[in-house]
Chains A and B, each alone.
Chain A
Amino acid sequence: MGKGVAKFGGKSGILPLPRQIFKQPIKPLKIEHNPNIGYAPDVKHPRGSTREPIYPKVVPVEERIVKTIAAPKRNFTEEEFGKLPIAQQWKLKNSALRRDYLKDSYWKEAKRLELKEAREEEAKKKLEEEIKKAQQYEESTASKLTLPSVEQYLKGPIMRQRTEAETKELQAKRKLNLLNHELRLKEKKAADLLELYNASTQFIITEEQLADAVSKAFDTNSSYSSAFSTTQTFKSLSSTSNSRVSVGNDIDTAIANALLGRVNGGPDLNDVKDTLHGETYKLVEEAGKNFSEMLQKDQQKYEKKYKDN
């Protein structure tokens, strides 16, 4: 804060604020209850303090006058007053004058405060009115005539929300997509499983099969087996697997599989599905029936021919 003039921001000649004549309010205060101040219902207040704030006691002007400017205990008549010594007379006169002045100043201060309050009230009302008037804002004619569409656009919602029917349609579409995706996944899984199942016929699961496969792989068709010949065979095997012949074979197998509807030499997924649903059985039955009918017809034909001859 500083000392001397530093206390007043470096400015000298600033008079102190005049002392208040009425330290207590002279009329009841308008206290608005603030819900954000005080203690919550379930919170205890500290011992020695009060739960509610203590407001200053109201001392009306009349009460103050009675308390501070008490009338003299003894009233002198004019005759008695004349008999008093001069100094005493002046003392009494001064006291009466001081009492009158103090009383007068109290009433004047009360009047000033009232006037000040009225003036503040009026200013507040005026400002409120001004704000209210300013908030009833009307756009200029120019902007009204030139920018109606954009202003109107800003008043309503920018985007039209989906209607109930559109929402339902979207939900149905999403559900369909999900189901399609799931179906595709399941089909792929089933096809992979089938491929694995068909390939499992080639798997080596016994010792004999392993020995057989090893001997087949290293078979040199020669009576002697030397390190040289083994290496040769190994080289030839590896070169064959990388050659075009092998690729050609792969392609041939793939084409054959695709034409015959087979996977790894076994039935493909459609075949399995048909079998499971009884389609193949029906087809075989129908073919058998047709075949027997055809045989019967042929037999009848031959019999007729034989009879005619």
Chain B
Amino acid sequence: MSLVHLANVCAHLQNCSRVNLPLAHIPLTRLHLQVALGLYKHGFIKSIQKGSTLGPDLVPTEVTPDNISSRRLWLGLKYKNSKPVLNKISLVSKPNRRLFLDKEEIRALSGGSSVRVIKPLQPGEIIFIRTLNKDLVDLQDAAERHLGGEVVCRAR
């Protein structure tokens, strides 16, 4: 189910950046937070804020089972020369076509060759890998650390 939600998040972020919105909000889950953090680290988004459906939090609010459904992550979208920095973000592994790569395949992909249906990385592009211990790392990191895992999504 989480990949379905991530697919929605990807589409939402893409739509928001195409209509030049300053902020976009996505449901608060661990995977979404990891993806948002990855995008932030690689400079695709400007900020990450915790909040609710009403807006970013003004006072720190605890996440409880009673308010989890209304909790949101507010992401600040980035633009350069009136063009969005985040042009495209989409799932790679899908609910009906999961793509798990071992460390050799990850190294091959990061080396510039196609692996199964995954096209090699383009300049300025990033691919996120979810490792077996549920960490989210980018492709180059995974290759360096000899890690395998599920190819979650790619952004450029």
Residues of A that sit less than 8 Å from B by CB: 130-131, 134-135, 137, 143, 147, 150-151, 153-154, 158-162
Contacts and interface: CB of A to CB of B under 8 A. Distances in A.
Interface string B21-53: 000000011100110010011000000100000
A169 to B, nearest CB: 11
Contacts of B63: 158-160
Nearest to B103: A131
3 A-B pairs closest in CB distance: A131-B146, A134-B145, A159-B63
Contacts of A150: 33, 37, 48
Contacts of A158: 28-30, 33, 63
B141 to A, nearest CB: 8
A153 B33 contact: yes
Interface in B102-156: 144-147
A147 B34 contact: no
Nearest to A130: B146
B46 to A, nearest CB: 14
A135 B137 CA distance: 12
B64 A159 contact: yes
A100 to B, nearest CB: 46
B6 to A, nearest CB: 15
A137 B137 CA distance: 12
Interface residues of B, number: 18
Given A134-B145, A135-B145, A162 B64 contact: yes
A160 B28 CA distance: 13
Contacts of A154: 30, 33-34, 37
Q: Which of A134, A151, A154, A159 has the most CB of B within 10 A?
A: A159
B77 to A, nearest CB: 18
Nearest to A161: B65
16 contacts: A134-B144, A134-B145, A134-B146, A135-B147, A137-B145, A150-B37, A150-B48, A151-B37, A154-B33, A154-B34, A158-B29, A158-B63, A159-B64, A159-B65, A161-B65, A162-B65
Contact of A147 (B28, B37, B144): B37
Nearest to B66: A162
A285 to B, nearest CB: 53
A151 B65 CA distance: 22
A143 B137 CA distance: 14
Nearest to A151: B37
Interface string B59-76: 000111100100000000
A141 B129 CA distance: 23
Nearest to B135: A154
Nearest to A153: B33
A172 B64 CA distance: 19
A161 B62 CA distance: 11
Contacts of B144: 134
A161 B37 CA distance: 24
B41 A147 contact: yes
Contacts of B29: 158
Contacts of B68: 159
A134 B147 CA distance: 9
A162 B66 CA distance: 9
B156 to A, nearest CB: 22
